[in-house]
Structure 1
Amino acid sequence: MNVSTGGRQLRSRAASAALVCAITLLPSPSYAAPSEPDPQNDKSIEDIHTELNGLYRAAEVATEAYNTADEKASEQTKRLNSLRKDLTRTKSRVDDLHDLAGAAARTQYRGGDLDATGIQLLLGDHPDQALDEASQARQALRNLVNVSESQKTARAELSRQTDAAARKLRELRSSRADKAAAKQKIEEKIAAAERIEAGLKKDQTRKLDQLEKEETQKAKSEWTGPDSSGGRTKATGAAAKAVDFAMAQIGKPYVWGAVGPSSYDCSGLTSTAWAAAGHPIPRTSQAQWQGLTRVSLSSAQPGDLIIYFSDATHVAMYIGGGQIVHAPRPGRTVTTAPAASMPVLGVVRPGA
């Protein structure tokens, strides 16, 4: 081997080795996927707890907004279907009256009498103009034009109402679509929250659990409603059935928009429980707050619904002893909790 060539090879290998060593000694860069949550190691348990609560709270607000929009769209669909059926019947009635009027005109032109039976059948929805005797046929013929005109007016009004209802339904469906899109964005945040919880170290999880237990104990001590001394009023009648139903759902998961039987959201649990007790109530927590009889916190009884937060976006059922049963949030199951564990807006009583 040529000495000059061998020297160049040795120098090249030495340079390569030096480069490898230099790269090895450089600090490794850290890359985080855009969808991954921020590292939690440098955050306090209190900060993590606050972040999680904020994410889940936003999720519940979005859930109730979507449920409300969906409920309104469903009710409007039923109203529109009913109007369309009425409009179809009215159109048929107008057509029959038009045919009858034509027949009457031809008969009178020939100097004859129109069979009263046919007129009776057509005017059956107008008892004030119905025919009791065949001799009333001529009078009915005179009234026929008036009835026909009133039916045309009714058809025009129904047509107007149907068109307005169809426009309203389109608006409600658009609103529901907007709420669904917002809900999807919140679901992405919930996934991030779940990743945060899944990524906590054992000691962080233990501290988080302890923090929640401390909050529970504090909430128990802050309850100023009935049974605050430790006793428990028993439910009776339909309220007892509603409480028993809700308690039987303990352990079932929270799922957005769910009304059972295998999962529930907060208002899905309360509305289904009271329906099972024979007293259907509005579907959403906001509608329950607006539509049910309000009672004072001090007079709350088992079966009553406690509405939480200023925007009425969470609801639970009071079971006595300062306790509630509710579907808390995504990632949790139906459970009992202190009634004062969230900011109370007020109390409503189904069936009152």
Structure 2
Amino acid sequence: MASHRKPRQRPLSSGTVRTAATLALAGAATATAFEGTSHADPQPTPAQVKAEVDRLYGDAEAATERYNGAKVKADEAERGLTALRDEAARKAERLNTARRSLGSLAASQYRSGGLGPTLQLAMAGDPQDYLDRASLMTRAGDRTAADVASVRRGLDEVGQLRDKAAGQLADLRARQGELEEQKAVIEGKLSTARSLLARLTAEERAAYEAQSGGGTAPAAAGGPAAGKAARTPAPPAPADGSRAARAVAFAYAAIGKPYVWGATGPGSYDCSGLTQAAWRAAGVSLPRTTYTQINAGQRVSRDQLAPGDLVFFYSGVTHVGMYIGNGQMIHAPRPGSTVRLAPVDSMPWAGASRPA
């Protein structure tokens, strides 16, 4: 009868154990490496990098316009606070003068008030003279009462001004906090965009710059781009007295100056800073931001554009340029670029306005 006992297994030799452990570790390492490769983020293609950089620049420009709006409000709050403090100081000085005058009068009355009016009349050498002086004192007393009431009103006014100034100071600090937040957003997005662009080759970056710039600045005579510059439309002469012509001439003169977010010139501009400065040179005051400039003048359709009109882009109205004719505009595109010419149809259309 065959035995059903389980055969005794032979213990593994030390060499066999080492071989099995080596194979197991190698297998685990291979599996881990494969798994890590399968889950690693793939390297973005140049097209993906460009698309993401464009998105970041667009977000940064929208944040720049919010920064510009917050800065306008912060500047207004600061001017208002300064005016309130100046007014409070002037009223406080007038109040102090009135209080000193009242103090002197009170001291004089105290010194002369030792005798009652009946006794003063009895001792007076000339009763009529006394009665005349008594009438004068009564009128002085009425005037003193009016002065006291005026001082009380002054105290209330100064207190109200100081309370209002405290509120204005709180508003200013809130605006300054908003500025810092927008600044951090802008700088963060621009830093990420620069890091992404660093992944491209020099040729890829040059191609991106040429494409995203929407055109090139005219070169100096005889330079490598002189032919291209010669084909651009000539700026209208400002001597015709047209405000639009003067604004366009200013924009032409700014070509080649760098884009700097939040800048309003004269050495650098952001998009709305350029259009604001150009129309200011023509004697027209425009608000600071794209989303306020679009409502600052007469709205015009795309087929009615004339040189000097402001053209706006993107759904959030976050970019603006100045139309110069022939389907072209001058604008400050984005950080890292310069003021330049570009086709109006190079960006998503949002609207146009004609400053008055």
* TM-score of the two chains, using structure 2 as the length reference: 0.66
Task: Measure, in 1, the Cα distance between the counterparts of 2:210 and 2:297.
Answer: 38
Task: Measure, in 2, the Cα distance between the counterparts of 1:242 and 1:301.
Answer: 12
Instruction: Using the aligned pairs only, state the percent identity.
Output: 36
Task: Measure, in 2, the Cα distance between the counterparts of 1:162 and 1:210.
Answer: 51
Task: Measure, in 1, the Cα distance between the counterparts of 2:209 and 2:318.
Answer: 25
Alignment correspondent of 2:68: 67
Task: Measure, in 2, the Cα distance between the counterparts of 1:184 and 1:342.
Answer: 23
Structure 1 window deviating more from structure 2 (159-168 vs 77-86): it is 77-86
Per-residue deviation, 1:69: 2.2
Alignment correspondent of 1:84: 85
Task: Measure, in 2, the Cα distance between the counterparts of 1:78 and 1:60.
Answer: 27
Determine if the alignment matches structure 1 residue 153 to structure 2 residue 156.
yes
Question: Is the Cα contact below 8 Å between 2:236 and 2:248 reproduced in 1?
Answer: no
Letter in 1 for 2:310: L
Question: Is the Cα contact below 8 Å between 1:304 and 1:318 reproduced in 2?
Answer: yes
Letter in 2 for 1:102: G
Determine if the alignment matches structure 1 residue 162 to structure 2 residue 165.
yes
* TM-score of the two chains, using structure 1 as the length reference: 0.66
Larger radius of gyration: 2
Per-residue deviation, 1:250: 1.1
Determine if the alignment matches structure 1 residue 335 to structure 2 residue 337.
no
Task: Measure, in 1, the Cα distance between the counterparts of 2:74 and 2:305.
Answer: 33
Give the unaligned 5+ runs of structure 2.
Answer: 1-32, 34-40, 114-138, 216-232
Q: 1:293 is matched with which residue: 271, 293, 297?
A: 297
C-alpha root-mean-square deviation of aligned residues, in Å?
A: 3.4
SS in 1 for 2:345: coil
Task: Measure, in 1, the Cα distance between the counterparts of 2:236 and 2:267.
Answer: 29
Per-residue deviation, 1:161: 0.7
Give the unaligned 5+ runs of structure 1.
Answer: 1-28, 30-36, 112-135, 217-229
Task: Measure, in 2, the Cα distance between the counterparts of 1:39 and 1:102.
Answer: 84
Question: Is the Cα contact below 8 Å between 2:321 and 2:330 reproduced in 1?
Answer: yes
Task: Measure, in 2, the Cα distance between the counterparts of 1:249 and 1:77.
Answer: 30
- 1:151-177 CA distances to partner (integer Å, 9 max, x unpaired)? 222112101110000111111111111
When the two structures are aligned, how many residues end up with a matched partner? 271
Question: Is the Cα contact below 8 Å between 1:294 and 1:346 reproduced in 2?
Answer: no
Determine if the alignment matches structure 1 residue 192 to structure 2 residue 178.
no
Task: Measure, in 1, the Cα distance between the counterparts of 2:212 and 2:331.
Answer: 16
Determine if the alignment matches structure 1 residue 177 to structure 2 residue 180.
yes
Alignment correspondent of 1:280: 285
SS in 2 for 1:340: helix
Task: Measure, in 2, the Cα distance between the counterparts of 1:326 and 1:209.
Answer: 15
Per-residue deviation, 1:145: 2.4
Task: Measure, in 2, the Cα distance between the counterparts of 1:190 and 1:269.
Answer: 23
Question: Is the Cα contact below 8 Å between 2:312 and 2:349 reproduced in 1?
Answer: yes
Letter in 2 for 1:286: Y
Question: Is the Cα contact below 8 Å between 2:310 and 2:322 reproduced in 1?
Answer: yes
SS in 2 for 1:102: helix
Question: Is the Cα contact below 8 Å between 1:243 and 1:273 reproduced in 2?
Answer: yes
